[in-house]
Copies of this chain bind each other. A is one copy, B any other.
Amino acid sequence: MDQKFDPATLDVRIYMRELGQSARAAARALARAERATKDRALIAMAAELRAHGAQLLEANRADVERAKKEGCDAAFVDRLTLTAGSIEQMAAGLEQVAALEDPVGRITDLVRRPSGIEVGRMRVPIGVIGIIYESRPNVTADAAGLCVKAGNACILRGGSEALHSNQAIAACVRAGLAAAGLPEAAVQVVAIADRAAVGELITLSEYVDVIVPRGGKELIARLARESRIPMIKHLDGVCHVYIDEAADIEMAVKIADNAKTQRYGTCNTMETLLVAAAIADRALPPIARIYLAKGVELRGDAATRRLVPEAKPATEQDYHTEWLAPIVSIRVVAGLDEAIEHIAKYGSQHTDAIVTGDRSRAERFLREVDSSSVMVNASTRFADGFEYGLGAEIGISTDKLHARGPVGLEGLTTQKFVVLGHGEVRNQRGGD
């Protein structure tokens, strides 16, 4: 591992500014790089990870031991731990990203204007991406791969508990870049544990074009307040399934079951089930039986509890809550309008689904629910970059501008206008 600085005398601000400057310089080389070069780098990174498995595991062991000593819980240690299998997964992930189409340089929407000029849009890298993430070392390789493929430089700041693991992975990433003739500074992994590094990173507006924060809601909310750089982020996933009166009961039960219980801890898991009053007596009892059999705690309004006596009373706060656990909030609503109102009031604009056989109500739901993913007759669990065919994702955005929903390679690029002329000049006055 190369450590070019002396931590004892390190000034965090100077260190982070230097990372920023060299990332900015590297970004121009990355933006120019051909697809073949970028793919060669990714494939070389994968080979490096495989070739240095022993070193990666050793570096990781140091992190894991310290985390255990410091009393981190089992789930935390589990996310932190690398295995031969997870190293292979990182390597295979990089190869999968190499196989994806390169969005950069693609020109679309080219039209000839009355003046004679042709106007289109070219997809281009964003520049420098800053990513702040929890102590999951695999994110270091995954994020590096996506950023490089999209032609961006990146500054990666993983959880301080994963410092050694991340530095070991960073060495493989740098070796891969070098093997393809790309600047090693294109991927910089913050090499200091000092949490002040995060505060510096989100204010490096001169060198960093966008920040992708991952992790807990409170952390992201704080970063969003303090950042001077645009962010691609989501705070929480209070996702809904609405069972319309025109739903097929069997389909509704299957979707409500899957959306809640397939995985409890993911952001696209349903947290609140809304059921139209006209179908509640037929739809709710069979769903409730499944939930109860799986140990899911039910919290419902009065109408729900009349049909499902096992449900506890739901509080106002329950409907705002992202459970991330085997608990579900339930409400019986008069119909589509009330469902849309409920989602607008309590939802987090992440992912919401309607189950219905009625086309016009499906269309109203699609149009009027203002969430990053809106679904008809499908489980909210599908809100995912792989499931959507993006190839991989850096995260899911509930922001409205730029990237919304799962963010893949395209979300790590932007578009500029290109004008192809033949000597045209502007003759009429006007415009700014």
Q: Residue A32 contacts which of B367, B424, B426 (CB distance < 8 angstroms)?
A: B367
Q: Residue A417 contacts which of B257, B266, B383 (CB distance < 8 angstroms)?
A: B383
Does A388 contact B406, Cβ atoms closer than 8 Å?
A: no
Known: A32-B368, A401-B401, A426-B387. A377 touches B432 (CB 8 A): no
Q: Residue A371 contacts which of B257, B416, B432 (CB distance < 8 angstroms)?
A: B416
Given the complex, which residues of B lie within 8 Å of A266, measured CB to CB? Answer: 431-432
Say if the beta carbon of A31 comes within 8 Å of chain B.
yes
Say if the beta carbon of A4 comes within 8 Å of chain B.
no
Say if the beta carbon of A414 comes within 8 Å of chain B.
yes
Say if the beta carbon of A122 comes within 8 Å of chain B.
yes
Does B373 contact A423, Cβ atoms closer than 8 Å?
A: no
User: Which residue on chain B has the smallest CB distance to residue A214?
Assistant: B432
The stretch that binds B, out of A35-43, A159-167, A247-255, is A247-255
Least CB distance, A92 to chain B, in whole angstroms: 13
Does B28 contact A417, Cβ atoms closer than 8 Å?
A: no
Does A105 contact B378, Cβ atoms closer than 8 Å?
A: no
The stretch that binds B, out of A8-16, A46-54, A110-118, A169-177, is A110-118
Given the complex, which residues of B lie within 8 Å of A113, measured CB to CB? Answer: 387-389
Given the complex, which residues of B lie within 8 Å of A425, measured CB to CB? Answer: 254-255, 257-259, 262, 378-379, 381
Least CB distance, A85 to chain B, in whole angstroms: 13
Known: A230-B401, A367-B122. A382 touches B210 (CB 8 A): no
Known: A419-B382, A421-B375. A119 touches B388 (CB 8 A): yes
Does B416 contact A374, Cβ atoms closer than 8 Å?
A: yes
Given the complex, which residues of B lie within 8 Å of A138, measured CB to CB? Answer: none
* A11-33, CB < 8 A from B: 28, 31-32
Given the complex, which residues of B lie within 8 Å of A278, measured CB to CB? Answer: none
A-B contact pairs, 27 of them (CB 8 A): A31-B367, A113-B387, A119-B389, A209-B401, A230-B399, A248-B423, A254-B423, A255-B423, A258-B425, A262-B429, A353-B419, A373-B417, A375-B418, A375-B420, A377-B424, A378-B423, A378-B425, A379-B421, A379-B426, A381-B425, A381-B431, A382-B421, A388-B417, A393-B432, A404-B414, A404-B415, A406-B417
Q: Point out residues on A near B: beta carbons under 8 Å.
A: 28, 31-32, 105, 111, 113, 115, 117, 119, 122, 124, 126-127, 209-210, 225, 228, 230, 248, 251, 254-255, 257-259, 262-263, 266-268, 344, 353, 366-368, 370-379, 381-389, 393, 395-396, 399-402, 404-406, 414-427, 429-432
Given contacts A122-B374, A268-B431, 11 further A-B contacts (CB under 8 A): A31-B370, A115-B382, A117-B387, A209-B401, A262-B426, A366-B418, A375-B421, A378-B424, A379-B425, A384-B432, A404-B415
